């Protein structure tokens, strides 16, 4: 749940030795053009993300999803009756997310 429907999302990069940096996740061609144009204009300094940092980001993202779905389930807002549910997600997709770390 890292702004998955946005063209880009930005967050703090919290790795040892990587102080005062942010991470930009580009999800669309439109987002890529925006970031590249900003870099060309001198607004951004871009450097590649290490494989270890990418793995850590993926794990953190999945943990955030598990926590969110667990909380929604605990509050009866996940796959409940239509009047109360905040989110309805099919069982195989939910199972895949929750089994990645454990949960609901």
pLDDT digits (tens, 9 = 90+) for 6-63: 999 988 877 666 677 888 989 999 999 999 999 999 999 998 887 877 888 888 888 8
Q: Clarify whether residues 72 and 96 are in a common domain.
A: yes
Q: Clarify whether residues 41 and 62 are in a common domain.
A: no
What is the reported pTM? 0.63
User: How many domains, in total, are found in the chain?
Assistant: 2
Q: Clarify whether residues 35 and 57 are in a common domain.
A: no
pLDDT at 49: 81
Q: Clarify whether residues 79 and 65 are in a common domain.
A: yes
pLDDT at 103: 45
Q: Clarify whether residues 5 and 19 are in a common domain.
A: yes
Q: Clarify whether residues 43 and 55 are in a common domain.
A: no
pLDDT at 16: 61
Residue 69, judged by CB atoms within 10 A of its CB (0-12, 13-18, 19+), counts as: buried
14-19: Cβ within 8 A, 24+ apart: 15/53, 15/56, 18/53
Q: Clarify whether residues 10 and 28 are in a common domain.
A: yes
Structural domain that includes position 74: 51-104
Q: Are 59 and 65 in contact (CB under 8 A)?
A: no
pLDDT reading at 72 higher than 50: yes
pLDDT at 102: 47
Q: Clarify whether residues 24 and 12 are in a common domain.
A: yes
């Amino acid at each position: 749940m890292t702004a998955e429907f946005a063209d880009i999302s930005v967050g703090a990069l919290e790795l040892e030795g990587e102080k005062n940096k942010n991470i930009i996740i580009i999800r669309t061609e439109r987002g890529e053009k925006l970031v590249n144009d900003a870099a060309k204009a001198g607004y951004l300094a871009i450097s590649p993300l290490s494989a270890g940092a990418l793995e850590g980001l993926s794990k953190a993202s999945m943990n955030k999803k598990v926590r969110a779905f667990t909380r929604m389930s605990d509050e009866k807002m996940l796959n409940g009756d239509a009047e109360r549910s905040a989110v309805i997600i099919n069982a195989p997709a939910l199972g895949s997310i929750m089994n990645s770390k454990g949960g609901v």
